[in-house]
C-alpha cells in the first residue's frame, strides 16, 4: 500500500509543482492539491488498516514525505504533519480513533504545545486556549492541542509530581482559526493559530504520549516524539534534493559575469554540488539506518533502549542540519542569480531553514545526544515526553 502511495505521489508531482507558487502566495495549499493528496491516501499512511489506513512502516512514510518535499517544501510539510498525526489512530481510545480517522477524508492539524487549560468535568474536560503553528489549518477536518489538566483551581499532578498534560481533539468547526501565518519560509502551510473557549472535550478524545497505545501494532509502540522527528527531517532532505536539481539546471544555463564558461565548468560550482550531494545522501542514510534498526526492534517485540531513542533524535537533527548546509552551499555558489525568486533557490533556502527550526531537529539535540553517549540521565529532559511507563 505504501509503495502504491509513493507511486501515486510521483504521479502528482506536476500538479504540486503547478500550484506551488499559488500556495506560496495564498499561504495555504491549493484545493486541487489537497483533494489529490487525500485521494492518494497520503494522510492515512500511518492509520491502521482496521480503520481503512495503510498501516505503513515509518521508513515508507519518510519516503513519501521526502518525495513530496522534492517538489514543494510547503506541500511536503503539510503531508508530514497531517500524515504523522495518523499515528494517533493507534494511541487514542478506539471510540475516538474511529470518530476521527474512520472518515476517509480526515485531515488532522494542531500542535502538542500545552498552551491550553482543560478543567476536569463530568465526562471529560472544559478546555480553553490558543495554539500556534497548526500546519494545514486551511484544509484540516480535526485539530489537536496540548493542555494542562486542572481539578477546580489546582493543577493535577502525575504520580511523579509533574503537571498532567493531555492532547485534546476537536472538530475544526469548534475552533476559531486566526490568520497569523506571515513568515519567511514554508509560507504555503497555513500554520495559523487556533482558539477555543470553554469547549467541552469528551474524555475519550484525549490522550498523552506516556499512555499505553490502544492498538497492538508495532508502529504504535514506537516513542511518538522520537519517531515524529524522523518524519520532520524528511522535509528538509527533500527540499535539499530540490535545491540540487534547481542548481544543476541553473549551472548548465548560466554564464557567470566575467566568464566565457558555464557555471557548471567552474570548480566552485562543482565543489558545492559535490558537497551538497554528499551531505544529503549521508544524512538520509543515517536516518534510514536508525529507523530500520528501531523498526526491527519493535517488530521483534522489544521496547527501544534510551540509546536507540537518542539515535532517532540524533539522526533526525543531523539530517536536517546537513540539508540546511547543502542548500546554503548551493545558494552561495549560484551567485547573484540565487536571490531572484524565479530561480527557486531562495525559496529552498527559506523553506529549509524554517523546517529546521522545529524543536525536534534543532542543534540542542546534539547536546542531549552527547549526554546519552556519556551515560548521563536525560529522563528529566524534553526527550522523556514520550517515554511510556517510567516518565
Please check whether residue 7 lies inside any domain of the structure: yes
Answer with the one of 207, 230, 262 that is the final residue of a domain. 207
Three-state helix/strand/coil letters over 145-194: EEEEEEECCEECECCCCCECEEEEEEEHHHCEEECCCCCCCCHHHCCEEE
**Alpha-carbon separation of residue 103 from 51, 118, 217, 228 (angstroms):** 9, 26, 21, 23
Prediction pTM value: 0.96
Which CATH number fits the domain that encloses residue 130? 2.40.110.10
Q: Please report the pLDDT score of residue 257 as a whole number.
A: 82
Specify burial of residue 229 (Cβ count, 10 A radius: 0-12, 13-18, 19+): buried
Looking at the fold, whether 268 and 373 belong to one and the same domain comes out as yes
Looking at the fold, whether 246 and 350 belong to one and the same domain comes out as yes
Please check whether residue 36 lies inside any domain of the structure: yes
Looking at the fold, whether 382 and 254 belong to one and the same domain comes out as yes
Instruction: Render pLDDT for 158-168 as a digit per residue (tens, 0 to 9).
Output: 998 999 999 99
Instruction: Please report how many Cα atoms fall inside a 13 Å half-sphere around the Cα of residue 326, on the Cβ side.
Output: 34
Looking at the fold, whether 227 and 375 belong to one and the same domain comes out as yes
Looking at the fold, whether 229 and 342 belong to one and the same domain comes out as yes
Looking at the fold, whether 286 and 180 belong to one and the same domain comes out as no
Span 216-240, mean pLDDT? 97
Please check whether residue 96 lies inside any domain of the structure: no
Span 177-198, mean pLDDT? 98
Looking at the fold, whether 231 and 148 belong to one and the same domain comes out as no
Q: Are 147 and 165 in contact (CB under 8 A)?
A: yes
Confidence of residue 300 (pLDDT cuts 50, 70, 90): very high
Q: Calculate helix-pair angle for 58-69, 267-299, nearest 10 degrees.
A: 150
Which CATH number fits the domain that encloses residue 358? 1.20.140.10
Question: If you search the block for the grid coordinates 531572484, which residue do you land on?
Answer: 340
Please check whether residue 30 lies inside any domain of the structure: yes
Looking at the fold, whether 242 and 374 belong to one and the same domain comes out as yes
Q: Are 195 and 176 in contact (CB under 8 A)?
A: yes
Report which of residues 32 and 5 the model is more confident about.
32
Q: Please report the pLDDT score of residue 389 as a whole number.
A: 36
Please check whether residue 213 lies inside any domain of the structure: no
Helix (H), strand (E) at residue 300? none
Please check whether residue 101 lies inside any domain of the structure: no
Q: Please report the pLDDT score of residue 2 as a whole number.
A: 60
Please check whether residue 117 lies inside any domain of the structure: yes
**Alpha-carbon separation of residue 257 from 254, 270, 328, 334, 358 (angstroms):** 9, 17, 21, 12, 38
Instruction: Render pLDDT for 251-292 as a digit per residue (tens, 0 to 9).
Output: 999 888 888 889 999 999 999 999 999 999 999 999 999 999
Looking at the fold, whether 238 and 323 belong to one and the same domain comes out as yes
Q: Please report the pLDDT score of residue 18 as a whole number.
A: 98
Looking at the fold, whether 198 and 243 belong to one and the same domain comes out as no
Confidence of residue 84 (pLDDT cuts 50, 70, 90): very high
Q: Are 110 and 141 in contact (CB under 8 A)?
A: no
Which CATH number fits the domain that encloses residue 73? 1.10.540.10
DSSP, residue by residue, 30-58: -HHHHHHHHHHTGGGTTS-GGGT-----H
**Alpha-carbon separation of residue 19 from 23, 25, 72, 74 (angstroms):** 6, 10, 9, 11
pLDDT at 234 over 70: yes
Q: What percent of the chain has pLDDT over 90?
A: 88
Please check whether residue 212 lies inside any domain of the structure: no
Q: How many secondary structure helices (H) and strands (E) does the chain include? A: 10, 8
Answer with the one of 207, 241, 274 that is the final residue of a domain. 207
Domain encompassing residue 358: 222-386
Span 314-329, mean pLDDT? 98
Instruction: At 228, list the grid cell.
Output: 515524529
Looking at the fold, whether 61 and 128 belong to one and the same domain comes out as no
Looking at the fold, whether 22 and 161 belong to one and the same domain comes out as no
Domain count for the chain, please give it.
Answer: 3
Cα distance between residue 193 and residue 181, in whole Å = 8
Cα distance between residue 41 and residue 331, in whole Å = 34
Amino acid at each position: 500500500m505504501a509503495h502504491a502511495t509513493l507511486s501515486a505521489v510521483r504521479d502528482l508531482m506536476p500538479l504540486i509543482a503547478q500550484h506551488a507558487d499559488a500556495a506560496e502566495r495564498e499561504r495555504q495549499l491549493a484545493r486541487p492539491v489537497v483533494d489529490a493528496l487525500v485521494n492518494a491516501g497520503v494522510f492515512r499512511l500511518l492509520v491502521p488498516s482496521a480503520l481503512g489506513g495503510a498501516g505503513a512502516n515509518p521508513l515508507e512514510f519518510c519516503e513519501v514525505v521526502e518525495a513530496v518535499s522534492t517538489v514543494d517544501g510547503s506541500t511536503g510539510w503539510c503531508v508530514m504533519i497531517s500524515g504523522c498525526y495518523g499515528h494517533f489512530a493507534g494511541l487514542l481510545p478506539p471510540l475516538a480513533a474511529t470518530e476521527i480517522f474512520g472518515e476517509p477524508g480526515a485531515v488532522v492539524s494542531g500542535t502538542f504545545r500545552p498552551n491550553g487549560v482543560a478543567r476536569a468535568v463530568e465526562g471529560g474536560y472544559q478546555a480553553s486556549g490558543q495554539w500556534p503553528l497548526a500546519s494545514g489549518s486551511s484544509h484540516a477536518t480535526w485539530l489537536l492541542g496540548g493542555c494542562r489538566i486542572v481539578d477546580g483551581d489546582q493543577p493535577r499532578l502525575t504520580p511523579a509530581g509533574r503537571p498532567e498534560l493531555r492532547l485534546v481533539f476537536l472538530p475544526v468547526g469548534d475552533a476559531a482559526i486566526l490568520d497569523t501565518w506571515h513568515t519567511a519560509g514554508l509560507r504555503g502551510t497555513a500554520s495559523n493559530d487556533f482558539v477555543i473557549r470553554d469547549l467541552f472535550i469528551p474524555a475519550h478524545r484525549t490522550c498523552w504520549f506516556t499512555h499505553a497505545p490502544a492498538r497492538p501494532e508495532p508502529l504504535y509502540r514506537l516513542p511518538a516524539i522520537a519517531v515524529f522527528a524522523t518524519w520532520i527531517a524528511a522535509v528538509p532532505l527533500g527540499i535539499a534534493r530540490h535545491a540540487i536539481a534547481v542548481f544543476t539546471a541553473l549551472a548548465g544555463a548560466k554564464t557567470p559575469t566575467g566568464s566565457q564558461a558555464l557555471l557548471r565548468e567552474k570548480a566552485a560550482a562543482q565543489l558545492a554540488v559535490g558537497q551538497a550531494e554528499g551531505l544529503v545522501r549521508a544524512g538520509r542514510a543515517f536516518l534510514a539506518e536508525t529507523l530500520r534498526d528501531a523498526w526491527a526492534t519493535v517488530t521483534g517485540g522489544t521496547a527501544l533502549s534510551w540509546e536507540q531513542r537518542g539515535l532517532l533524535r540524533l539522526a533526525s537533527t543531523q539530517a536536517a542540519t546537513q540539508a540546511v548546509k547543502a542548500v546554503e552551499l548551493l545558494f552561495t555558489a549560484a551567485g547573484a542569480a540565487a536571490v531572484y525568486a524565479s530561480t527557486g533557490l531562495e525559496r529552498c533556502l527559506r523553506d529549509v531553514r524554517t523546517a529546521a527550526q522545529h524543536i525536534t531537529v534543532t542543534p540542542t539535540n546534539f547536546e542531549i545526544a552527547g549526554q546519552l553517549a556519556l551515560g548521563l540521565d536525560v529522563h528529566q529532559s524534553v526527550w522523556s515526553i514520550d517515554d511510556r511507563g517510567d516518565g
